[in-house]
């Protein structure tokens, strides 16, 4: 199957608190390097006919304005944590300009949380100005299509919480994971580009450390891997980047890649 050409933009590459973190005076949070400024994790996927985002965190509005995203066909959600869904209300701007509901793709568990967090959007009594959202259920074992893009879900574990990564042709995106079963690794193999979360250097209960993420990228033999969902504890972007082997890089906000 020929996959359409893709442009992927990293809208945010930070962990749930972002970088800088509120009230923190560490050297990373005080850095003047733009690559040390990290909004909450999200990516924009663009093909010739289809534009979607993976996750709508608290910085969604700022990210859409920064990158002048005038058209958005869909939102695909990895899981229901607030740093991945909190900005969903702002799809109402696209409702207005595109004159249709926003298509949102999520598992049944994530859908339930969205319906709780944004209950006013699903009320039988419609109030002017609330977001219009059409929920589409993802089966973790079944690929689905958004526009011209076929998307393969990849189940991973965020401690004990099931989370979805996604594969778009030769591009695989995994965030908020600390364990990946062999069946999901098989779905990732053969990718040309992998994005993988790497929270910090020290081990964490629900995220890969940089060492663990590097080991997984090596195990899967993926030629290019970018690390995302980075905390201020990771250190300065430029210093860490200089220590990484070829084909392994820290992502940063605004980074664009094409496949």
- pTM exceeding 0.75: yes
How is the chain split into domains, by residue range? 7-254
Instruction: Give pLDDT tens digits along the chain (259 positions).
Output: 689 999 999 999 999 999 999 999 999 999 999 999 999 999 999 999 999 999 999 999 999 999 999 999 999 999 999 999 999 999 999 999 999 999 999 999 999 999 999 999 999 888 888 999 999 999 999 999 999 999 999 999 999 999 999 999 999 999 999 999 999 999 999 999 999 999 999 999 999 999 999 999 999 999 999 999 999 999 999 999 999 999 999 999 999 999 9
Of 207, 218, 208, 219, the residue nearest 245 (C-alpha): 218
Q: Quick one: CA dihedral 7, 13, 15, 18, positive or negative?
A: negative
Contact present, 237 and 231 (Cβ < 8 Å): no
Architecture of the 7-254 domain: 4-Layer Sandwich (3.60)
Q: How many CB atoms lie within 10 A of CB 116?
A: 10
């Amino acid at each position: 199957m020929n996959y359409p050409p893709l442009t992927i933009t990293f809208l945010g590459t930070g962990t749930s608190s972002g970088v800088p973190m509120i009230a923190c005076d560490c050297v990373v949070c005080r850095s003047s390097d733009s690559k040390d400024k990290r909004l909450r994790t999200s990516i924009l996927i663009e093909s010739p006919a289809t534009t979607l985002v993976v996750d709508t965190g608290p910085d969604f509005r700022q990210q859409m304005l920064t990158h002048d995203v005038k058209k958005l066909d869909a939102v695909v959600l990895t899981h229901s944590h607030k740093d991945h869904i909190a900005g969903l209300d702002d799809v109402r701007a696209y409702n207005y300009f595109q004159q249709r509901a926003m298509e949102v793709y999520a598992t049944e568990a994530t859908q339930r949380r969205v319906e709780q967090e944004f209950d006013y959007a699903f009320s039988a009594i419609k109030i002017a100005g609330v977001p219009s959202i059409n929920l589409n259920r993802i089966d973790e074992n079944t690929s689905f299509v958004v526009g011209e893009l076929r998307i393969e879900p990849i189940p991973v574990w965020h401690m004990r919480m099931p989370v979805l990564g996604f594969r778009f042709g030769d591009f695989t995106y995994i965030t908020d994971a600390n364990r990946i079963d062999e069946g999901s690794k098989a779905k990732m193999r053969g990718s040309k580009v992998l994005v993988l979360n790497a929270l910090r250097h020290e081990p964490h209960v629900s995220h890969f450390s940089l060492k663990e993420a590097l080991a997984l990228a090596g195990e899967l033999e993926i030629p290019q891997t970018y690390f995302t969902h980075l905390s201020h504890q990771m250190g300065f972007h430029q210093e860490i980047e200089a220590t990484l082997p070829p084909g392994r890089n820290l992502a940063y906000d605004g980074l664009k890649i094409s496949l």
